[in-house]
Amino acid sequence: MRLRGVVVAGLLPVLMVGLVTAPAAGADAPPYGAIGDLKLAKAEDKVDMPLVAPPSGATVLFDGKSLDEWVSVDGKSPAPWKFVDGSAVEVQKGGIMSRQKFDGHFLLHVEFRVPYMPKATGQGRGNSGVYLQGRYEVQVLDSYGLQSQDNDCGGIYKVAAPLVNACKAPTVWQSYDIDFRSPVFEEGRKVKPARISVLQNGVAIHKDVEIPLDNTVAGLGGDPSKPGPIMLQDHGNPVQYRNIWLVPLKD
């Protein structure tokens, strides 16, 4: 059952700012082609989520015009992803991470879409991931219509499955709004773990989940008491991203 109308505390005031209509998806080459043979649960599942304009005070990480705010995961090379559709980028040639590093309490907004790969299965089907501080992954995958597990779309990877499968169909623009609280350290000792709440396509899929790990699978690792970048994963599939911004939140 979908939890329509359920909103994680702290996210809604930010997300009410600046809704604008998304541009038409346009005619795309495979694997972003027609999904006419895909059985849809609801007609709205093939409707793009709207672009959400960044609120005042947000750090804009990707506005569709430039990847200047990003580098390859080696921390030095330019981000190698290619521009598509005039306002999005497509995964290729390795993961990327933000030049800036973040800690404390913040909201990260990310819009993405996954390719339609009907002959692929499991983790080979539109796989990518959004990493908070480069360490904690919220999975990106084509998990449309599945009983979601902790490694499916929206899962906090190998930590927590989504409360509900809120995925849209592949090729359709989706959104994550991730409320992240960094772990708290005192005198070198962790006294509070990282915590994550997530809206996917406006639906609450995680509510204040404690992260018992300091690094989920394939994270950058490093000192968990230090700030870290936003990382977007290359898992070999042409996932696309657009409109990425971050805004600090008060506890």
Q: Is there a domain that residue 181 lies in?
A: yes
Task: Tell me how far the alpha carbon of residue 14 is from its chain's centroid.
Answer: 17
Contacts of 113 (CB under 8 A, 6+ apart): 32, 170, 171, 172, 173, 174, 239, 240
Q: Which domain holds residue 214?
A: 12-21+46-248
Give which of 249, 228, 214, 233 is closest to 93, Cα–Cα. 233
Produce one character per residue of 157-172: b if its CB has 16 or more CB atoms within 10 Å, e if not.
Answer: bebbbbbbbbbbbbbb
Query: Would you place residue 12 in the very low, low, confident or very high pLDDT band (cuts 50, 70, 90)?
Result: low
Q: Which residues 6+ apart lie within 8 Å of 151 measured at CB? A: 123, 139, 141, 157, 158
In a domain, 200, yes or no: yes
> What's the pLDDT score for residue 21?
41
Supply the CATH number for residue 164's domain. Answer: 2.60.120.560
Residue 35 lies in a domain: no
Q: Mind listing the pLDDT tens digit for each residue in 122-162?
A: 999 999 999 999 999 999 999 999 999 999 999 999 999 99
Answer whether residue 5 is part of any domain. no
Instruction: Place 4 in a pLDDT band, splitting at 50, 70 and 90.
Output: very low
User: Whole-angstrom Cα distance, residue 79 to residue 177?
Assistant: 23
pLDDT at 15: 62
Domains: count for the chain: 1
Q: Which two tokens stand for residue 109?
A: 């907004």
Residue 2 tokens read as 């979908």
State pLDDT tens for residues 169-193.
999 999 999 999 999 999 999 999 9
Structure letter (DSSP) for residue 47: S
Residue 183 confidence (pLDDT): 98
